[in-house]
């Protein structure tokens, strides 16, 4: 028995004099719908999966509203129903079912048609043959070979798996999707056949995929740009002419455009009917308003309630840069900041200028800090880089200063040159299931107050996510060091403190530092943080839901000398929700050192 690429068997034709009942709108009612007046009842006796299919799609359901059926017409319907049942059960992979359809009830009473089905043994896949035509079959390119092997490896209906019509259709769809996702947008399913040996309950599958020609990107054709620089779209999209077609790269380019802030929406399309050697890239954008104001309110367990106002000007007159100015009001760390950025150049580098003033209140010390920065940054597909000069100034006050010098608590000013590198190698964002991220900061400069002293500052960060049979393990580590003479007055913004929602849970924001003789907590020159977390999906009906449970262990330490690092430990458990705006995290952690429970709530994935 050979099955072509159909998705469902055709129903048997009813007796000639009987027409299916019409709805009041003149359309045929759906199978399984309960008519107001029923000519007969239907009882299906079969295993659950078969019964549910028949109750939903059985052709007999359509004729229950025909109330003038005589016994002869009803008998003809019963005879024809056997073929309909056999075809339906065949879509589940049962090709040798035992079907018995009988009429029960007295002649003058409303009858019940009983459909009893013993499906027998399910048909299993005996062999699978996946063949190729077109460029993918002829090419010796390593990418083409890998794509062929990937399609065969990812085939969803392998040998010894149960055959069903839905699984057969789904496997072909997935194979075709993998073909057209890279290199071959004009690919098609050239042929498919399921050859079923019903007595042996085995099926042999054959599929042929025709890739057509290899496609390379041509010139970009942009529409919808009026108020912004025409160079902006190609520089954000980064789709170079001559590049081999890759659907993922188009999706990423579309995301960069839509998330850049310059555009409300963006769509990118390559017509598979165009020239394969230089297929035009059609980009349609809808520009955002030149200026916008965003008002916000929020709440964090670190800083409490907050309110903010943010103004954006996407093209400042005279220079064409974007200016984003934000004022945020909250109890612990209010700030005002303005950041100006140029449009990216051909290599995706931007000029950046930033000014920031903030007030940090940790219940012991109040630090008022100012920062000026000027440099360049580059945002790549996986790697971000920044090079900049930075001026920092900090002034410290509070009862915790009694008996200590202001320099001990991070008062001073400094000028530094800095380089920051971040690489993200995760399988997906913002919900990674595997991969790792790596980042480091290198800075060097001089203090500017008193006896000017040179110093260097280095920070390294790592996050690794490893999948398990159930869930995954997330591990992270961070270390930092500031090297300078003991007498150097280094501003607090260049020193280290830790603790809080995204560092060491079980402790408040910046609670972990150096305990001075008077009991105050100050910043230090060395930092070490580590964490391990087991994240497991919460099942619903044996399937993973949008929620996860976690257990974790965090540890962090700050000191002025490496040998004085003593970890503060936090342990706890929490839940995660894959919300539309990113991972929502709620953790209840116990700080071993302070012997307190603390709730931590945060949103988003940041590395």
Report which secondary-structure segment, H or E, holds 248.
Answer: helix 247-259
Residue 74, pLDDT score: 83
Residue 11 reports pLDDT greater than 70: no
Residue 362 reports pLDDT greater than 80: no
Q: What confidence tier does 522 reach under pLDDT thresholds 50, 70, 90? A: confident
Residue 424, pLDDT score: 94
Return all residues near 576 (Cβ < 8 A) that are at least 6 apart: 535, 547, 548, 549, 550, 583, 584, 585, 586
Comparing C-alpha atoms, which of 579, 598, 385 is closest to residue 505?
598
Residue 2 reports pLDDT greater than 90: no
Q: What confidence tier does 8 reach under pLDDT thresholds 50, 70, 90? A: very low
How far apart are alpha carbons 559 and 509 in whole angstroms?
17
Tell me how far apart the terminal alpha carbons of the chain are, to the nearest angstrom: 56
Detail the DSSP E strand segments found in 468-606.
472-483, 514-515, 521-522, 526-540, 543-559, 568-579, 582-591, 596-603
- Average pLDDT rounded to a whole number, residues 253-265: 92
Residue 520, pLDDT score: 78
Residue 297 reports pLDDT greater than 90: no
Q: What confidence tier does 4 reach under pLDDT thresholds 50, 70, 90? A: very low
Residue 28 reports pLDDT greater than 50: no
The DSSP code for 496 is: B
> Model's pTM, two decimal places?
0.71
**CA distances to 86, 318, 333, 416, 500 from 63, in Å:** 19, 76, 72, 84, 67
- Average pLDDT rounded to a whole number, residues 216-230: 93
**CA distances to 94, 152, 190, 245, 424 from 175, in Å:** 25, 8, 12, 18, 29
Neighbours of 382 (CB within 10 A): 10
Q: Where are the domains of the chain?
A: 2-118, 124-210, 217-287, 414-603
Comparing C-alpha atoms, which of 159, 157, 158, 132 is closest to residue 147?
132
Read out DSSP for 414-476?
EEEEEEEEEEEEESSSSS-SSEEEEEEEEEEEEE-SSS--EEEEEEEEEEEEEE-SSSEEEEE
How far apart are alpha carbons 495 and 516 in whole angstroms?
15
Residue 353 reports pLDDT greater than 50: yes
Q: Assign residue 93 a region: left if phi > 0, alpha if psi is -120 to 50, beta otherwise?
A: left
Comparing C-alpha atoms, which of 599, 468, 463, 460 is closest to residue 531?
463
Percent pLDDT > 70 in the chain is: 92
**CATH value of 2-118 in 3.40.920.10, 1.20.1250.20, 3.10.20.310, 3.40.190.80:** 3.10.20.310
**CA distances to 98, 395, 487, 516, 588 from 405, in Å:** 92, 12, 11, 11, 37
Instruction: Name which of 2-16, 43-57, 119-133, 416-430 the model is least confident about.
Output: 2-16
**CA distances to 121, 165, 173, 190, 205 from 4, in Å:** 22, 11, 14, 12, 10
Average pLDDT value for the chain: 88
Comparing C-alpha atoms, which of 222, 220, 226 is closest to residue 287?
226
463 HSE (CA, 13 A, CB side): 18
Domain 414-603: state its class: mainly beta
Residue 193 reports pLDDT greater than 90: yes
Return all residues near 201 (Cβ < 8 A) that are at least 6 apart: 95, 96, 120, 121, 122, 123, 124
Q: What confidence tier does 429 reach under pLDDT thresholds 50, 70, 90? A: confident
Residue 36 reports pLDDT greater than 60: no
Residue 451, pLDDT score: 85
The more confidently predicted of residues 296 and 28 is 296
How far apart are alpha carbons 78 and 14 in whole angstroms?
10
Task: Kindly report whether the peptide bond that precedes residue 430 is cis, defined as omega within 30 degrees of 0.
Answer: yes
Residue 517, pLDDT score: 74
Instruction: Name which of 242-256, 357-371, 588-602 the model is least confident about.
Output: 357-371
Superfamily for domain range 217-287: membrane protein fhac (3.10.20.310)
Neighbours of 413 (CB within 10 A): 20
Q: What pLDDT digit, counting tens, does each position of 589-603 carry? A: 999 999 999 999 888
Comparing C-alpha atoms, which of 412, 418, 561 is closest to residue 493?
412
How far apart are alpha carbons 568 and 570 in whole angstroms?
7
How far apart are alpha carbons 541 and 333 in whole angstroms?
44
Q: What confidence tier does 405 reach under pLDDT thresholds 50, 70, 90? A: low
Contact criterion met (CB below 8 Å) for 480 and 455: no
The SS3 call for residue 168 is helix
- Average pLDDT rounded to a whole number, residues 157-180: 93
Residue 133 reports pLDDT greater than 50: yes
Instruction: Name which of 35-44, 146-155, 338-347, 494-503 the model is least confident about.
Output: 35-44
Residue 211, pLDDT score: 95
The SS3 call for residue 587 is strand
Residues facing residue 389 across a β-bridge: 374, 417
Q: What confidence tier does 29 reach under pLDDT thresholds 50, 70, 90? A: very low
Residue 399, pLDDT score: 59
Q: What is the dihedral of CA 536, 537, 538, 543, to 10 degrees?
A: -140
Residue 1, pLDDT score: 55
Residue 400, pLDDT score: 54
Residues facing residue 555 across a β-bridge: 530, 569
The more confidently predicted of residues 575 and 28 is 575
The DSSP code for 62 is: G
Contact criterion met (CB below 8 Å) for 463 and 474: yes
Contact criterion met (CB below 8 Å) for 86 and 35: no
The more confidently predicted of residues 421 and 93 is 421
Residue 33, pLDDT score: 54
The DSSP code for 78 is: H
- Average pLDDT rounded to a whole number, residues 295-304: 77
Q: What pLDDT digit, counting tens, does each position of 59-76 carry? A: 888 888 787 778 888 888
Any idea which architecture 124-210 has in CATH? Answer: Roll (3.10)
Residue 408, pLDDT score: 57
Read out DSSP for 347-415?
TSEEEEEEEEEEEEE-SS-EEEEEEEEEEEEEE-SSEEEEEEEEEEEEEEESGGGTTS-GGGGT-EEEE
Residues facing residue 309 across a β-bridge: 295, 327
Residue 12, pLDDT score: 40
Q: What confidence tier does 39 reach under pLDDT thresholds 50, 70, 90? A: confident
Residue 404, pLDDT score: 53
Handedness of CA 358, 362, 366, 367 (dihedral sign): negative
How far apart are alpha carbons 389 and 544 in whole angstroms?
47
Q: What confidence tier does 7 reach under pLDDT thresholds 50, 70, 90? A: very low
Domains 2-118 and 124-210 share a fold: yes
Return all residues near 251 (Cβ < 8 A) that are at least 6 apart: none
Residue 374 reports pLDDT greater than 90: yes
């Amino acid at each position: 028995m050979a099955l072509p690429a159909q998705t469902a068997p055709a129903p048997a034709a009813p007796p000639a004099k009987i027409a299916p009942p019409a709805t009041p709108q003149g359309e045929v009612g759906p199978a399984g719908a309960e008519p107001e007046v029923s000519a007969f009842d239907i009882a299906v006796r079969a295993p659950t999966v078969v019964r549910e299919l028949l109750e939903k799609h059985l052709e007999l359901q359509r004729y229950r509203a025909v109330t003038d059926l005589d016994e002869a017409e009803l008998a003809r319907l019963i005879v024809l129903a056997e073929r309909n049942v056999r075809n339906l059960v065949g879509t589940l992979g049962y090709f040798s079912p035992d079907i018995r359809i009988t009429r029960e009830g007295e002649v003058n009473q409303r009858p019940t048609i009983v459909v009893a089905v013993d499906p027998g043994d399910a048909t299993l896949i005996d062999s699978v043959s996946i063949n190729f035509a077109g460029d993918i079959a002829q090419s010796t390119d390593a990418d083409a070979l890998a794509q062929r092997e990937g399609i065969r490896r990812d085939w969803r209906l392998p040998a010894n798996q149960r055959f069903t019509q839905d699984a057969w259709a789904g496997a072909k769809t997935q194979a075709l999707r993998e073909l057209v996702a890279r290199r071959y947008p004009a690919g098609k399913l050239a042929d498919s056949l399921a050859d079923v040996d019903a007595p042996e309950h085995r099926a042999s599958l054959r599929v042929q995929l025709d890739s057509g020609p290899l496609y390379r990107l041509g010139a970009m054709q942009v529409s919808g740009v009026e108020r912004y620089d025409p160079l902006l779209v190609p520089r954000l999209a980064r789709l170079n002419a001559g590049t081999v077609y890759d659907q993922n790269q188009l999706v990423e380019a579309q995301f960069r455009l839509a998330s850049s802030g310059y555009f409300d929406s963006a769509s990118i399309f390559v017509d598979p009917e165009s020239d394969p050697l230089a297929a035009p890239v059609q980009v349609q954008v809808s520009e955002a308003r030149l200026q916008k104001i965003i008002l916000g309110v929020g709440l964090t367990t670190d800083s409490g309630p907050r309110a903010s106002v943010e103004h954006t000007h996407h093209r400042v007159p005279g220079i064409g840069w974007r200016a984003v100015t934000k004022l945020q009001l909250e109890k612990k760390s209010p700030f005002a900041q303005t950041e100006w950025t140029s449009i990216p150049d051909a290599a995706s580098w931007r000029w950046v200028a930033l000014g920031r003033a903030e007030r940090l209140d940790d219940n012991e010390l109040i630090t008022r800090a100012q920062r000026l920065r000027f440099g360049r940054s580059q945002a790549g597909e996986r790697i971000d880089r920044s090079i900049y000069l930075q001026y920092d100034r900090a002034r410290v006050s509070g009862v915790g200063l009694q008996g200590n010098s202001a320099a001990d608590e991070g008062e001073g000013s400094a000028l530094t040159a800095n380089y920051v590198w971040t690489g993200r190698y995760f399988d997906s964002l913002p919900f990674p299931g595997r991969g790792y991220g790596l980042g480091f900061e290198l800075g060097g400069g001089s203090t500017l107050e008193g006896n000017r002293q040179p110093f260097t500052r280095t920070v390294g960060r790592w996050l690794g996510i490893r999948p398990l049979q159930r869930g995954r393990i997330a591990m992270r580590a961070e270390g930092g060091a500031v090297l300078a003479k003991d007498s150097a007055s280094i501003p607090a913004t260049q020193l280290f403190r830790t603790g809080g929602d995204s560092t060491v849970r079980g402790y408040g924001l910046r609670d972990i530092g150096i305990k001075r003789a008077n009991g105050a907590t100050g910043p230090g020159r060395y930092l070490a943080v580590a964490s391990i977390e087991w994240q497991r999906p919460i099942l619903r009906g044996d399937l993973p839901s949008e929620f996860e449970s976690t257990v974790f262990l965090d540890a962090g330490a700050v000191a002025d000398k490496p040998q004085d690092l003593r970890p503060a430990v936090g342990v706890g458990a929490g839940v995660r929700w894959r919300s539309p705006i990113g991972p929502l995290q709620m953790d209840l952690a116990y700080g071993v050192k302070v012997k307190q429970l603390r709730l931590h709530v945060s949103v988003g994935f940041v590395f």
